[in-house]
């Protein structure tokens, strides 16, 4: 029997962050300094820029693995796309403005990671780790986002009539772990949207969902739901094993929901569309959320909440991870399916 090929080290191991060089570009020295400290404390080397000219120079003459660009440094978001095209490295956007106010531009330029200031250090470091080391092993699984978590429970959903039962199990599990909140109804609403979309949309049963019809997924398919917690947070992840969702679809849906919300304020009697409602609820009601996509392999939606369901910002940071094609190839040829419960189909 031939031995199973090991995953490529390039993608299955974290890179040496001491040798990693990150560019921090922000014209505000105060915020630039704050971001510097967050990055430096995680053991990464860095360079900084305070003007767009400096950004071009730094990217041209330094070996940069990742760039953090502030919105106010750029004349417009087309500059973000220009830099991304010229320097094909991971880039993320920071802003001290309301993301909703310029989400149309975010969608137009296909920007998938946007952090609002002040930056949450732990969440920011998690994103840096993922962008530096793209791999199914490090990207999928609730444990890769909820640090020091244990008591992970996995549930499988193949029938639409199992959705409500699974939500009840998640609720009971949270109570067993000592998490009590008056916002249970809102959490259950989010979970219902995510799991329902996974069961119906990923399997091509959109019309059945619109008609409210019961479905059973084929024998080789199931939705994987995981719940885990640490001392201060708990998280839920939902994986579909399909990877059909794309960053562009997510941005379009979120932008549509934002536009509709503002239209309703002007016209309270307008008819609401359900399109994008579930994704918009995730960003509104989760302390952290992540869309993780390996095209053609898996889509996982991860939501994380504070123990007391505290949320001190209007909307969570935008984080859409799409695994590079090269990393997907390594995963498919390695035979290693141990990355997460979301991939153990």
**Domain boundaries along the sequence of the chain:** 9-132, 138-343
Picking from 88, 3, 24, 153, the residue whose alpha carbon sits closest to that of residue 326 is 88
CATH number of the 9-132 domain: 3.40.50.2300
Asked whether the predicted pLDDT for residue 18 surpasses 90, the reply is: no
| The pLDDT of residue 316 | 74
Asked whether the predicted pLDDT for residue 333 surpasses 60, the reply is: no
| The pLDDT of residue 25 | 97
CA 335 from centroid of its chain's CA atoms = 25
Q: Are 331 and 4 in contact (CB under 8 A)?
A: no
Which helix (H) or strand (E) element contains residue 105? Answer: helix 103-108
Model confidence, pTM: 0.85
Among the ranges given (51-65, 101-115, 139-153), the one the predictor scored with the smallest mean pLDDT: 139-153
Asked whether the predicted pLDDT for residue 332 surpasses 60, the reply is: no
| The pLDDT of residue 125 | 92
| E-strand stretches of 253-329 | 288-294, 298-306, 318-322
Residue 47: both structure tokens together: 């360079």
* Backbone phi and psi for residue 233, each to the nearest 5 degrees, phi listed first: -140, 160
**138-343 adopts what CATH topology?**
Heat Shock Protein 90 (3.30.565)
Specify the 3-state DSSP secondary structure of 14. Answer: coil
Residue 18: both structure tokens together: 């001491």
Most confident region among 139-143, 163-167, 180-184, 331-335 by mean pLDDT: 163-167
| The pLDDT of residue 269 | 66
Please tell me the distance from the alpha carbon of residue 300 to that of residue 321, in angstroms, as a whole number: 10
DSSP 8-state assignment for residue 340? -
């Amino acid at each position: 029997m031939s031995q199973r090929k090991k995953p490529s080290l390039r993608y299955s191991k974290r890179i040496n962050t001491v040798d990693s060089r990150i560019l921090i570009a922000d014209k505000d020295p105060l915020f630039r300094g704050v971001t510097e400290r967050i990055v430096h404390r995680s053991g990464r080397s860095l360079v900084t820029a305070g003007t767009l000219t400096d950004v071009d120079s730094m990217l041209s003459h330094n070996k940069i693995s990742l760039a953090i660009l502030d919105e106010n440094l750029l004349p417009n978001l087309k500059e973000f796309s220009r830099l991304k095209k010229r320097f094909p490295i991971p880039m993320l956007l920071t802003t001290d403005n309301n993301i909703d106010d310029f989400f149309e531009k975010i969608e137009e330029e296909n920007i998938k990671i946007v952090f609002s200031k002040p930056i949450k250090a732990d969440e920011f470091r998690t994103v840096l780790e993922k962008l530096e080391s793209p791999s199914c092993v490090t990207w999928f699984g609730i444990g890769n986002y909820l640090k020091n978590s244990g008591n992970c429970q996995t549930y499988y959903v193949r029938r639409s009539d199992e959705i409500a039962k699974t939500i009840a199990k998640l609720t009971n599990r949270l109570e067993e772990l000592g998490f009590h909140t008056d916002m249970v109804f809102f959490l259950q609403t989010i979970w219902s949207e995510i799991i329902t979309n996974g069961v119906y949309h990923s399997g091509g049963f959109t019309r059945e969902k619109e008609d409210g019809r019961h479905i059973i997924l084929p024998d080789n398919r199931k939705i994987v739901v995981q719940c885990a917690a640490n001392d201060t947070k708990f998280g839920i992840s939902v994986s579909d094993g399909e990877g059909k969702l794309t960053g562009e679809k997510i941005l379009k849906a979120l932008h549509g929901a934002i536009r509709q919300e503002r239209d309703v304020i002007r016209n309270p009697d307008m008819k609401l569309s359900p399109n994008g409602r579930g994704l918009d609820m995730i960003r509104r009601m989760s302390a952290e959320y992540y869309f993780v996509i390996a095209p053609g392999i898996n889509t996982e939606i991860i939501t994380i909440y504070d123990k007391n369901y505290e949320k001190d910002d209007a909307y969570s940071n935008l984080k859409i991870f799409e695994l590079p094609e090269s990393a997907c190839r390594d995963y498919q040829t390695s035979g290693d399916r141990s990355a997460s419960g979301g991939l153990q189909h």
